Amino acid sequence: MKRIIADDWPASYLQLFPEPPRRDDEYVHFINNYMPMVLLVSFMLAVAAICKDIVLEKEKKLKVL
C-alpha cells in the first residue's frame, strides 16, 4: 500500500470571488447614529406617562389593582 505524502497532491490556487467595491450606505450610518437617541426618547416618554398616571392616582386617592 502506497503512503500519500502532501507533496503528491496537485497544487490548488484560491482566488477571492470578484465583486464590486462596497459603497458607504448612508442609511446604515443614520441608523447607527440616531437609533440610541430614539430608543432613549421613547423610553423616557413611556416612563413619564407611567409617572403621570401614578401621581394622578395618588392625588385622587385611588387604588387600582
What is the amino acid identity at position 51?
A: C
Quick one: pLDDT at residue 48? Answer: 96
> What are the tens digits of pLDDT across the range 12-34?
666 777 878 777 788 888 899 99
pLDDT band of residue 47 (cuts 50, 70, 90) is: very high
Q: How far is CA 60 from CA 31, 42, 49, 64, in A?
A: 43, 27, 17, 11
CA pair distance 50, 15, nearest whole angstrom? 59
Nearest one of 30, 47, 3, 28 to 55, comparing CA atoms: 47
User: What is the reported pTM?
Assistant: 0.50
